[in-house]
Structure 1
Amino acid sequence: MSGRQGESGVGGSQAPPSAASSSSSSSGTLSSLETLPAPESLPPIAEEEPDEPPPQQPWGRLFALRPGFHSFDCLSNECWFGRDPDCGYSFTRLNLAHTELYKQCSKKHFRIFREPGPRNSHVAYIEDHSLNGTFVNDKLLGKGKKLPLTHNAEIALAQTPNKVFVFSDLMVDSQLEYPKELREKYIISNTLGSGACGEVKWAFERTTDRKVAIKIINKSRFMMDDLPQTERPFNVETEVEILKKVDHPCLIKIIDFFEGKDFYIVLELMEGGELFDRILPPARLSEAICKFYFYQMLLAVQYLHERGIIHRDLKLENVLLSSPEENCLVKITDFGQSKILGETSLMQTLCGTPNYLAPEVLTSAGTAGYGRSVDCWSLGVILFMCLSGYPPFSDQNARLSLREQITRGEYVYCAEKWKPVSKEAFDLVQKLLTVDVDKRFKIEQALAHPWLQDKSMKNRFQQLLTQMNDLVLPSEAPALPSTSRKRRHEKEELPTPKRATQTPT
């Protein structure tokens, strides 16, 4: 009928009735109703609104790693990155023109694209178009060369330290091994470190892109069925309980906790890494920076001790830095071996890292027990290493076993290493590395030591707190498990040990 209506000129001039009747009778297809005059007004014919296209889903995401950059969703099959304003991700629009990194970037530095792969899949690529280079996982691509972009690949510009993005392939669900609740809140990325009981992963909060650290505790490794809970070398419940209780700018903060086939502790990410890595030869901390960091450590341990918490595993690897910059906050982490004491409690479990163990841990474990002073000894070992660059006690010493070195208090003194260090600094080291627990400095005594009466250093710390929006000291506080890797400086040839109470000449 619609065809005939079109032919009869609907909406045009009306035909005479006789003509219409003739047409109707001859064809037998038009109703007499079609010959009636049209009403003065007809209701408009509702037009069907076209369905809105579903929102385009990203196939990849670039998480920003560097201040000033923002994360980016890969929606189209190609995107250019560079200084050119026409780039899909233009560095010019990021207000980075004053930075050295911006000057090293090309107008079109690199592009990310994807091409069809086997079985209706797609393959993501990155292609370098820069003069100064694009690096993927610390390897230079080379101008005009492309490389498949794998899940969790890190992208750096001009130099390998200039990491600006980590790529997440959203078409590959590598998250299924994690609990659903964890996956819904976080995208888990690369491994930051690993230890005897698990590993730490870098992750991103989905709603904010905030970088966090997720400490994954392998249940099968640490839950030793043949040991009672109190004697296990690692206690997740205690660690989480302590993390929830503590609130101090120099202690790591817990964000979330999940349990599945493993335990997952979500912590703030410390982008400066471990303090251990700052003292690796040929790098060396100045005495002023040692003082600045050690003051913060003392404040953190004082806070713990005042609340009946003993860390028991203080070491350089468990002191993290908030920033790659030298002037930064340090935070103590890894409470897996910590102990919450009662009024008169003494610990009797042998735990901790051998090089940092206090003498009474080796001589009293299982008998008389030990207390808060074990942390003071470990802090003495940390300060010794920060100032000198080598450990006071080492299993590389052929004359005495590590146990004998510690229980006798005979550390290695190398005059050349200590020459630039002040007598006040070394005096504090000696008072912390004292075998006699009653004579060993407590935290309060260490804080009152002349070496730490430095107003400019304390003012700098307060300024950092202000920048972090911390108005009072005990207000705010990536946790890495104890690493088992071999330390390079433990292999050095070391001089003959001297007693810990001996003053150098």
Structure 2
Amino acid sequence: MSKTLGSGACGEVKLAFERKTCKKVAIKIISKRKFAIGSERDADPVPDVKTEIHILKKLNHPCIIKIKDFFDAEDYYIVLELMEGGELFDRVVGNKRLKEATCKLYFYQMLLAVQYLHENGIIHRDLKPENVLLSSQKEDCLIKITDFGQSKILGETSLMRTLCGTPTYLAPEVLNSFGTAGYNRAVDCWSLGVILFICLSGYPPFSEHKTQVSLKDQITSGKFNFISEVWAEVSEKALDLVKKLLIVDPKVRFTTEEALRHPWLQDEDMKRKFQNLLCEENKSTALHQVLAQPSTSQKRLLEGEAEDADTTKRLAVCAAVS
């Protein structure tokens, strides 16, 4: 393992290299000791690790992070594909805001990923820019959703009542659901709306720093902070999609399918760019797989060495018998 790529409350992510291919990977190290301390205050979080592993192993989508291995030792070690571009959060902060065309490319991929999750009965429950990773430092790149520690596998008619996620991105029904009606996959669509708002404007729609109105009241009323000078530079179609995702009533709020059909995302150039990026990644993956296999000459050399060793063994046995 090499340098630390990031850290959080329960662990850190380190850079490492695969022995066979020398390909870079990310290792998420989750401290069992910190979990033990945390479980004294909260509900036992250890199952979250196992849930994350279980979910990651069953998923296969180009816009969802891929798990390579898992080790349960003195700590938990999750080996993941490395995303060289870092977090979407840092990209937005570094640029103040993203170009609308870039937002569209990234958001289209987020929708595809979350649509796939929902089709497989999975709700992420903690979608935010920190949990969206970029494949490279280039502006046009693939994104992948990560961190499934809060995720839940849910039946078609099931509802959840657990208060979890990051406050700024929580849907109104999550804040109102504790011990009441519950909530479903629509919470992810609300979080996507918050992410899109931030990418387009460079600031969050709801903030704890607004002292006159609590964060909960801002969210449950659906009254987001709209700065007209900032949004004057954003297209009407983009703003319309944001509004459709930030509808308080989850029954009226856009689903991922509806969002993907929205006029703002009917952009063939953007979709072609995504397909090209996908092709580049597939070629790179195929190349690393080839490199991981021994060449024909290497195989022959290994086979020859094995034959020589076998001959030596047979001669030794014959000498011992005689």
- Distance change (3 Å), C-alpha of 1:373 and 1:268: same
The equivalent of 1:404 in structure 2 is: 217
Task: Indicate if the aligned counterparts of 1:377 and 1:432 stay in contact, CA closer than 8 A.
Answer: yes
SS in 2 for 1:367: coil
The equivalent of 1:236 in structure 2 is: 49
Q: Cα offset for 1:198?
A: 1.1
**Residue 344, structure 1, aligned to residue 157, structure 2:** yes
**Residue 208, structure 1, aligned to residue 21, structure 2:** yes
- Alignment partner for residue 167 of structure 2, among 344, 348, 354? 354
The equivalent of 1:294 in structure 2 is: 107
Q: Cα offset for 1:226?
A: 5.3
The equivalent of 2:5 in structure 1 is: 192
The equivalent of 2:300 in structure 1 is: none
| Aligned mates of 1:461, 1:358 — CA distance in 2 | 29
Output the amino acid matched with 1:410: K
SS in 2 for 1:411: coil
The equivalent of 2:308 in structure 1 is: none
SS in 2 for 1:428: helix
Output the amino acid matched with 1:317: E
| Aligned mates of 2:246, 2:187 — CA distance in 1 | 10
Output the amino acid matched with 2:5: L
- Distance change (3 Å), C-alpha of 1:336 and 1:369: same
Task: Indicate if the aligned counterparts of 1:234 and 1:337 stay in contact, CA closer than 8 A.
Answer: no
The equivalent of 2:250 in structure 1 is: 437
| Aligned mates of 1:290, 1:197 — CA distance in 2 | 31
SS in 2 for 1:271: coil
The equivalent of 1:369 in structure 2 is: 182
The equivalent of 1:260 in structure 2 is: 73
| Aligned mates of 1:272, 1:457 — CA distance in 2 | 20
Task: Indicate if the aligned counterparts of 1:191 and 1:199 stay in contact, CA closer than 8 A.
Answer: yes
Return 5+ residue gaps in structure 1 as ranges. 1-187, 471-505
Q: Cα offset for 1:369?
A: 1.2
Taking structure 1 as the reference length, what is the TM-score of the superposition? 0.54
SS in 1 for 2:93: coil
The equivalent of 2:140 in structure 1 is: 327
| Aligned mates of 1:438, 1:212 — CA distance in 2 | 41
Task: Indicate if the aligned counterparts of 1:274 and 1:316 stay in contact, CA closer than 8 A.
Answer: yes
**CA offsets per residue over residues 290-317 of structure 1, 9 Å max, x none?**
0010000000000000000000000000
SS in 1 for 2:2: strand
| Aligned mates of 2:53, 2:111 — CA distance in 1 | 22
User: What's the RMSD between the two structures over aligned residues?
Assistant: 1.7
The equivalent of 2:287 in structure 1 is: none
| Aligned mates of 2:96, 2:40 — CA distance in 1 | 44
Q: Cα offset for 1:398?
A: 1.6
Q: Cα offset for 1:225?
A: 4.8
Task: Indicate if the aligned counterparts of 2:97 and 2:198 stay in contact, CA closer than 8 A.
Answer: no
Alignment of 1:34-433 (within 5 A): 188-223=1-36, 225=39, 232=45, 235-280=48-93, 282-433=95-246
Output the amino acid matched with 1:375: D
The equivalent of 1:22 in structure 2 is: none
Q: Cα offset for 1:261?
A: 1.3
Task: Indicate if the aligned counterparts of 2:198 and 2:204 stay in contact, CA closer than 8 A.
Answer: yes
| Aligned mates of 2:227, 2:94 — CA distance in 1 | 15
Output the amino acid matched with 1:357: L
Q: Which has the higher contact order (CA 8 A, sep 6+)?
A: 2
Give the percent of matched residue pairs that are identical in Structure 1 and Structure 2: 67
Q: Cα offset for 1:279?
A: 1.2
Output the amino acid matched with 1:422: S
Task: Indicate if the aligned counterparts of 1:233 and 1:351 stay in contact, CA closer than 8 A.
Answer: no
SS in 1 for 2:3: strand
Bigger fraction of residues in strand: 1
| Aligned mates of 1:386, 1:283 — CA distance in 2 | 9
| Aligned mates of 1:225, 1:386 — CA distance in 2 | 35
- Distance change (3 Å), C-alpha of 1:289 and 1:282: closer
**Residue 461, structure 1, aligned to residue 270, structure 2:** no
The equivalent of 1:23 in structure 2 is: none
Task: Indicate if the aligned counterparts of 1:216 and 1:264 stay in contact, CA closer than 8 A.
Answer: yes
Output the amino acid matched with 1:468: E
Task: Indicate if the aligned counterparts of 1:233 and 1:337 stay in contact, CA closer than 8 A.
Answer: no
**CA offsets per residue over residues 133-183 of structure 1, 9 Å max, x none?**
xxxxxxxxxxxxxxxxxxxxxxxxxxxxxxxxxxxxxxxxxxxxxxxxxxx
- Kindly report structure 1 stretches of 4+ aligned residues shifted beyond 6 Å: none
| Aligned mates of 2:42, 2:129 — CA distance in 1 | 29
| Aligned mates of 2:130, 2:85 — CA distance in 1 | 12
Q: Cα offset for 1:191?
A: 1.1
Output the amino acid matched with 1:237: K
| Count of residue correspondences | 282
Task: Indicate if the aligned counterparts of 1:279 and 1:285 stay in contact, CA closer than 8 A.
Answer: yes
Q: Cα offset for 1:366?
A: 2.9
Output the amino acid matched with 1:247: N
Q: Cα offset for 1:289?
A: 0.6
Q: Which has the larger radius of gyration?
A: 1
| Aligned mates of 1:358, 1:283 — CA distance in 2 | 25
| Aligned mates of 1:209, 1:414 — CA distance in 2 | 48
Taking structure 2 as the reference length, what is the TM-score of the superposition? 0.84
